């Protein structure tokens, strides 16, 4: 099976879906002639033309609103926002229109659109370009929010998102674009992925490690390190933040008795708080230790590389939390 990058998996999925369905079109800043800030759309303008690969002004509220209108009339727009930070300029369109039209119109019209956008720190882009604000959108009923961590899941989830009849916010972490993984040469051979279903990417019995996007890969790294010390860690990749697969979380923690959550956003009111509450609701009597959360420092992310590195959650910080949790339950390493 070919090994390709996360970036290539996204591009080939866009190409496949555009070839398959003439209603699918791309719209966003610099996605055509410049081929996208991160080159996800490289070559697509040449293949599909300006009608289906639409460059826009730097006006997020305007072109997201245009995409919503197009979706209401039967097209399937895929919007590229240069960064999730810029989604704040289109917050009204996303939250008050895309998420609510189906319900407010009594189901008379769907909004089948995807908003692709990268986020995450570690690239020295400064505090206003390095945020993980997916919580803003995962909070909103009417939106679906997905965050794949591997090239194969990126391809499968993007395909599912484009074919879905609801608006989907598709989160990409900048740190993952060059990561590599196996993806079938024929994308039709990819197993279907259900939006709202987490993946148990590594089975274990001693502790559950939970993450999404970049932190799902960090959880796997920590599980491998713990395995070298005789600890069996189960790893759950959420893949979807809304809908949230609470059943898989609860089943895992009922088996292992303890959990550590890794997230790239801030700790207070973060995604991890919802996960911890869900575990408490469904597995309280099975917990041998409090659920631990590892997240970003509660500061605007510094530009200076050493400070940025310290502020972000890491494999070392997740490993330390796992070891301390295991110690609390009396596990011997």
Catalytic residue list: 60, 129
How far is residue 304's CA from residue 298's CA, in Å, rounded to a whole number? 16
- H or E segment and range at residue 263: strand 259-266
C-alpha torsion 175→178→184→189, nearest 10: 30
Place of tokens 């245009």: 66
Helix (H) or strand (E) holding 215: helix 214-227
Q: DSSP letter string over 264-320?
A: EEESTT-HHHHHHHHHHHHHGGG-SSPPEEEEE-SSPPPSSHHHHHHHS--HHHHHH
DSSP secondary structure, 55-78, as one string? E--S-HHHHHHHHHHHHHTT-EEE
């Amino acid at each position: 099976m070919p090994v390709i990058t996360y970036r290539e998996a996204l591009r080939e999925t866009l190409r496949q879906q555009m070839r398959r369905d003439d209603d699918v079109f791309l719209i966003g800043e610099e996605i055509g002639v410049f081929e996208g800030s991160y080159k996800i759309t490289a070559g697509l303008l040449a293949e599909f033309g300006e009608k289906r690969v639409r460059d826009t002004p730097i006006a997020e509220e305007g072109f997201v609103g245009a995409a919503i209108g197009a979706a209401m009339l039967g097209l399937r727009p895929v919007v590229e926002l240069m960064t999730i930070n810029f989604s704040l300029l289109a917050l009204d369109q996303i939250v008050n229109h895309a998420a609510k039209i189906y319900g407010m119109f009594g189901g008379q019209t769907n909004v089948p659109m995807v908003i692709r956008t990268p986020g995450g720190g570690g690239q020295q882009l400064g505090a206003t370009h390095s945020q993980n604000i997916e919580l803003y959108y995962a909070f909103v009923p009417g939106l679906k929010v997905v965050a794949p961590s591997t090239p194969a899941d990126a391809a499968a989830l993007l395909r599912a998102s484009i074919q879905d009849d609801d608006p989907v916010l598709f989160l990409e972490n900048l740190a993952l674009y060059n990561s590599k993984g196996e993806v079938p040469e024929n994308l039709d051979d990819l197993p279907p992925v259900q939006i709202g279903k987490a993946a148990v990417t590594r089975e274990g019995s001693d502790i559950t490690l939970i993450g999404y996007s970049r932190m799902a890969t960090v959880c796997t790294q920590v599980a491998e390190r713990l395995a070298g010390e005789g600890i069996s860690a189960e790893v759950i990749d959420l893949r979807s933040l809304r809908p949230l697969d609470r059943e898989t979380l609860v089943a895992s923690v009922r088996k292992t008795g303890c959990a550590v959550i890794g997230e790239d956003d801030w700790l207070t009111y973060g995604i991890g708080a919802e996960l911890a509450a869900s575990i408490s609701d469904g597995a309280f009597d099975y917990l041998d230790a409090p659920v631990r959360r590892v997240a970003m420092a509660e500061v605007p992310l510094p530009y200076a590389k050493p400070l940025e590195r310290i502020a972000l959650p890491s494999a070392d910080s997740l490993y330390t939390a796992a070891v301390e949790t295991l110690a609390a339950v009396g596990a011997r390493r």
